[in-house]
Homo-oligomer: A and B are copies of this chain.
């Protein structure tokens, strides 16, 4: 975990105090990491804290000893008005799934009630915190659970697109024009779907980069993706290294990473 979370030159810990592609460079309102056990079929481990990532000794220790082939990490800049609490930190986990969100539903408080109304009783009861993010995940869980078919990257992609569509339709029907900014990550330990999205005509969504194709390593702060037969995919809000091979995802696209770690980038069409 350390080679991803703590060691890179522009690691997520560095991003916690020196983000480069955001207006507000500080993400010091807590953090979280999730990782899947080696066979990636058990529920993930999650560690969250309201302390800034840059001074957390537990994170350093866990990063040193945890080895995993599927890791998520998040540093939070709390939306003004949403409280800083461990239960509001990302990643959120539900059974096999993990979820993170970079962005916000603008003026969330004005549509929170309608949004929660869409949740099933079980998802409603499952929500523990007060963020738009956790609510979006609960909505995803409901939509995903209603889909037929085996678990797969495609099923997750369908559910992510339907989640974004559901939110947009709700905002529209509520006369809410402030829009939303939905860079979402959903992962089940084997596949993952990541969106870069914001409501048409409102803002440019937060940046999103992908790095693929090689075995990953980190030496003296420089991540390397070495040519080898084992595929590797990194997805991040900002490149972890100065390396030019990070690919910027266009706004309103999703990245689908399947079980073979093949990536497919597709436009998001919301009707």
A interface list, Cβ under 8 A from B: 17, 26, 28-29, 35, 37, 42-52, 54-55, 57-58, 61-62, 64-67, 78, 83-87, 109-110, 112-113, 116, 121, 124-125, 127-130
User: Which residues of B sit under 8 angstroms from A65, Cβ to Cβ?
Assistant: 35, 37, 42-45
Pair B128/A83 contact, Cβ less than 8 Å: yes
Knowing A61-B46, A62-B45, say if A28 contacts B37 (CB, 8 Å): no
Partner of A64, one of B43, B85, B121: B43
What are 7 residue pairs bridging A and B, where the CB atoms are less than 8 Å apart in the complex? A26-B28, A45-B65, A46-B58, A47-B61, A49-B58, A51-B51, A57-B83
A134–chain B nearest beta-carbon distance, Å: 11
User: Which residues of B sit under 8 angstroms from A61, Cβ to Cβ?
Assistant: 45-47
A76–chain B nearest beta-carbon distance, Å: 10
Partner of A28, one of B28, B43, B78, B124: B28
- How many copies, total? 4
Interface secondary structure of A, over-half rule = mixed
A65–B61 CA distance with the chains assembled, in angstroms: 16
Give 4 closest A-B pairs by Cβ, nearest first: A45-B65, A109-B125, A85-B85, A55-B84
Pair A26/B26 contact, Cβ less than 8 Å: yes
Partner of A121, one of B47, B67, B113, B116: B113
A121 to chain B: closest residue by CB:
B113
Pair B129/A112 contact, Cβ less than 8 Å: no
Knowing A45-B64, A51-B50, say if A57 contacts B86 (CB, 8 Å): yes
Pair A47/B62 contact, Cβ less than 8 Å: yes
A84–B87 CA distance with the chains assembled, in angstroms: 9
A173–chain B nearest beta-carbon distance, Å: 17
